[in-house]
Amino acid sequence: MCLLVGTGLIAATGGDDHGVTGGLRQLTGDAAATPTNTMRAPGVSRDGPLPTATATPTSVPTATPVPEPTPTPVPPRAANPSGLRLWTDGDSTSYFMSVAVIDLLSAQGAIPVQAAPEYKISSGLLSPGYFDWPNYIATEMAATDADIVVFMVGANDASPGMDLENYASLVGALMDQLQRTGRIVAWVGQPAMGPGRPDLNAAIPGMNAVFSQEAAKRPWVVYVDAWAMTTDANGNYADTLPDENGVSQLLRADDGVHFTSAGGRRLALGVAHALFP
């Protein structure tokens, strides 16, 4: 599917590769120390040359190469959404995005499996006592067997100083839970927030890095960079930006957190492009 979008409208990124490097330590001993007393065999001059030992060649053991495991082949991604079952959900920031995703992809032949767009207010991955996303998603996937999953949470999890290592384990576990042959998952990151929410803006870049890095480890997941789609050319929060036709649109609600219908469409275009470039 080909989408015409404005400059800076769509950004779908992967993650970073991680490598572990080690160092070699040079070991030194005291074998070269000069002895204070010497012994010499009879008939050997004190000043004459010392006898030398002939080195006996020894074989050095070599490690047997271990063959690398053959990677599991990944089925090719569908070129378009025609005939694919579509499921989308998230917290309250995701609502207008879900509305637009359903409109855009169903126009291309996708089959929505929900009667209407849904969202779970105040939910996140750090509050399973309030709403248990892994349990809910397990039930939903068993019932719908969705081929396309679009998911967006995080605003209710973000806080300065949050434990990103623990958060990464939760994100990765949910991504793994969503794996199914032929299924593709669009994990939508968090947008830039308005100037009234410096707490969220301080936490979200680290959170988005977790989303991106965990997605990059899993070929069935694509990360959609909502931050890039909600900032201006200088990287600053923008509540108004041009749409795919160059027409200026109000993207955000007064709270600087939630989206308008136009803002949801902007995110949905990014999702569609990430899934079907």
pLDDT tens column, 172-226: 999 999 999 999 999 999 999 999 999 999 999 999 999 999 999 999 999 999 9
Q: What is the CA 227 to chain-centroid distance, rounded? A: 14
Question: Quick check: is 140 in a domain?
Answer: yes
Instruction: Tell me the pLDDT band of 37, cut-offs 50, 70 and 90.
Output: very low
Question: Quick check: is 34 in a domain?
Answer: no
pLDDT the model gives residue 66:
53
pLDDT at 63 over 80: no
Q: Residue 201's domain is classified under what CATH number?
A: 3.40.50.1110
From CA 254, how far away is CA 264, in angstroms rounded? 15
Question: Quick check: is 7 in a domain?
Answer: no
Per DSSP, the three-state class of 262 is helix
Please, are residues 12 and 270 in contact by the beta-carbon 8 Å criterion? Answer: yes
Question: Quick check: is 21 in a domain?
Answer: no
Q: Which residue has the tokens 């990059």?
A: 216
Question: Quick check: is 35 in a domain?
Answer: no
Domain of residue 101 covers 74-275
Question: Quick check: is 49 in a domain?
Answer: no
Question: Quick check: is 211 in a domain?
Answer: yes
Q: Which residues of 65-85 are buried (b: 16+ CB within 10 A; e: fewer)?
A: eeeeeeeeeeeeeeeebeebb
**Helix (H) or strand (E) run with residue 112 in it:** strand 111-112
Question: Quick check: is 80 in a domain?
Answer: yes
Number of structural domains in the chain? 1
User: Considering just the CA atoms, what is the radius of gyration of the chain in Å?
Assistant: 30
pLDDT tens digits for range 244-262: 999 999 999 999 999 999 9
